[in-house]
Chain A
Amino acid sequence: MSSEWPLWEVFIRGQHGLNHRHVGSLHAPDAEMAIRHARDVYTRRNEGVSIWVVKSGDIAASSPSEKGPLFDPSNDKVYRHPTFYDIPDEVGHM
Chain B
Amino acid sequence: MYAQMVKTDGKGVKAPEDMTPEERHFQARIDAGEKIEPKEWMPEAYRQNLIRQIGQHAHSEIVGQLPEGNWITRAPTLERKAILLAKVQDEAGHGLYLYCAAETLGVSRDELTEALLSGKMKYSSIFNYPTLSWADMGAVGWLVDGAAIMNQVPLQRTSFGPYSRAMIRICKEESFHQRQGYDIMMKMARGTPEQREMAQDALNRFWYPSLMMFGPSDKDSVHSAQSMAWKIKINTNDELRQKFVDQTVPQAEYLGLTVPDPDLKWNEEKGGYDFSEPDWSEFFAVLKGNGPCNRDRLEARQEAWEEGRWFRDGLVAHARKAEARRVGVGVAAE
Chain A positions within 8 Å of B, measured between CB atoms, are: 1-5, 7, 24-27, 29-30, 33, 40-41, 44-45, 61, 63-64
Contacts and interface: CB of A to CB of B under 8 A. Distances in A.
Given A29-B319, A64-B40, A2 B309 contact: yes
7 contacts: A3-B316, A5-B316, A7-B103, A24-B165, A24-B169, A25-B100, A61-B39
Nearest to B315: A29
Contacts, number: 53
Nearest to B37: A64
Contact of A41 (B39, B41, B93, B323): B93
B187 to A, nearest CB: 24
Given A30-B318, A63-B39, A2 B97 contact: no
B318 A44 contact: no
A26 B318 contact: no
Given A4-B110, A5-B312, A26 B39 contact: no
Contacts of B166: 24
Contact of B97 (A1, A24, A27, A33): A24
Nearest to A7: B103
A27 B316 contact: no
A24 B100 CA distance: 8
A2 B40 CA distance: 31
A4 B110 CA distance: 7
A19 B100 CA distance: 23
B78 interface: no
Contact of B316 (A7, A29, A61): A29
Nearest to A23: B169
B313 interface: yes
A1 B40 contact: no
Instruction: Sort A-B residue pairs by CB-CB distance and give the 5 closest, nearest first.
Output: A30-B319, A29-B315, A29-B319, A64-B40, A25-B100
A24 B96 CA distance: 10
B290 interface: no
Contacts of A40: 89, 93
